[in-house]
């Protein structure tokens, strides 16, 4: 009986070690990209999920899914903490979903499904790294920017539209603001990234444009 107990403890320690290794792999990728949740965070998430799952199986004999279900709730709070609003978009969603996925990997290890956890880790790393190039390709061909352009009078607004058309960019007015003789217009502009770059050069060299930002 003592041998079986020691053997069980060794298996559990091995599962915990595996969960730490998987957490290191995912955390290293997030740390390399300088994300808000880094190496230590993902190690602790994967390790904690694994340990809670092991305890759920051992303690909750009659209701083993009770503790495991609360892991998902706790991970939801952690994920919400890394999501924040940037200047023009919501940031941190990828990191939040990676936290959620890492917790599931830890739970898989804790349940003894190591092969699923390893396969899941490989897929997570492929999604986080390999698809970055595909995202860049989409961004290069279909870049959306919000420009804020200041001019001296209302008649220069059609001139801005002419600039957008000249650089093969689609546009729409988002809002306008008039302050002390200057008219500031926010534009939602869509097109290829190279066209955005040439537009910025034109805006810097154009005497009719007082200021711009994006």
Query: What are the boundaries of each domain within the chain?
Result: 9-139, 142-213
The pLDDT score that the predictor gives to residue 47 is: 92
What are the pLDDT digits (tens) for 151-207? 877 777 888 888 888 888 888 888 888 777 778 888 888 988 888 888 888 888 888
CATH architecture under which domain 142-213 falls: 2-Layer Sandwich (3.30)
The pLDDT score that the predictor gives to residue 5 is: 43
Average pLDDT in the chain? 81
Phi, psi of 145 (to 5 degrees): -130, 150
The pLDDT score that the predictor gives to residue 90 is: 65
Residue 99's CB is within 10 A of a number of other CB atoms, namely 24
What are the pLDDT digits (tens) for 110-132? 988 999 999 999 999 988 887 77
The answer to whether the CB of 64 falls within 8 A of the CB of 56 is yes
- For the whole prediction, is pTM greater than 0.95? no
Start-to-end Cα distance in the chain: 69
């Amino acid at each position: 009986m003592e041998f079986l107990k020691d053997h069980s403890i060794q298996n559990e320690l091995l599962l915990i070690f595996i969960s730490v290794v998987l957490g290191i792999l995912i955390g290293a990728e997030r740390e390399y990209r300088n994300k808000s949740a880094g190496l230590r965070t993902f190690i602790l998430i994967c390790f904690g999920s694994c340990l809670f799952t092991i305890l759920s199986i051992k303690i909750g004999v009659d209701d083993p899914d009770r503790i495991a279900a609360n892991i998902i709730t706790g991970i939801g709070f952690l994920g919400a903490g890394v999501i924040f609003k940037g200047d023009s978009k919501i940031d941190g969603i990828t990191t939040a979903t990676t936290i959620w996925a890492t917790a599931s990997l830890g739970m898989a290890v804790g349940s003894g499904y190591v092969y699923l956890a390893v396969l899941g880790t490989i897929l997570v790393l492929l999604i986080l790294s390999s698809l970055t190039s595909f995202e860049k390709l989409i961004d290069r061909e279909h870049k959306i920017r919000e420009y804020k352009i200041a001019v001296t009078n209302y008649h220069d607004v059609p001139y801005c539209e002419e600039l957008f058309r000249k650089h093969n960019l689609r546009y729409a007015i988002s809002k306008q603001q008039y302050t002390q003789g200057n008219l500031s217009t926010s534009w939602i502009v869509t097109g290829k990234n190279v066209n955005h770059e040439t537009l910025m050069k034109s805006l810097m060299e154009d005497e009719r444009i007082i200021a711009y930002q994006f």
